[in-house]
Amino acid sequence: DTGVSQDPRHKITKRGQNVTFRCDPISEHNRLYWYRQTLGQGPEFLTYFQNEAQLEKSRLLSDRFSAERPKGSFSTLEIQRTEQGDSAMYLCASSTRTSGRANEQFFGPGTRLTVL
């Protein structure tokens, strides 16, 4: 399977714990995006990497959220001191310059986070 993969698919945690999610983009894709999707809403952009550079992070929801892409391949999204309001689906997407001017983004299946 050469699509975008995310791990884990489901995560249940207690309030106050830290969680980390991983995204593996399509191998030749240099752009990687993180979104949050809550029930009944569309994806909400969080942050974006081009290769290993994080080019946009002002839309991360709070300073409890951070993301890395150290070698320009896989990425991790960490949420510290989780709150119940963090419960959502976290989506990763990737794209490449050869996606064309429309910049088609390919989405992974998401990680569903439940904070108890």
Partner 1 sequence: GEDVEQSLFLSVREGDSSVINCTYTDSSSTYLYWYKQEPGAGLQLLTYIFSNMDMKQDQRLTVLLNKKDKHLSLRIADTQTGDSAIYFCAERSSGGSYIPTFGRGTSLIVHP
Of 12-20, 44-52, 62-70, 71-79, the window that binds partner 1 (rule: CB under 8 A) is 44-52
Binding of residue 70 to partner 1 (CB under 8 A): no
Which of residues 26 and 80 has its CB atom nearest to partner 1 in the complex? 26
Question: What DSSP designation does 115 have?
Answer: E
Whether residue 65 contacts residue 57, with contact meaning beta carbons closer than 8 Å, is answered with: no
How many Cα atoms occupy the beta-carbon half-sphere of 57 within 13 Å? 14
Binding of residue 53 to partner 1 (CB under 8 A): no
Of 14-22, 63-71, 72-80, 100-108, the window that binds partner 1 (rule: CB under 8 A) is 100-108
Q: Which residues are registered as beta bridge partners of 67? A: 77
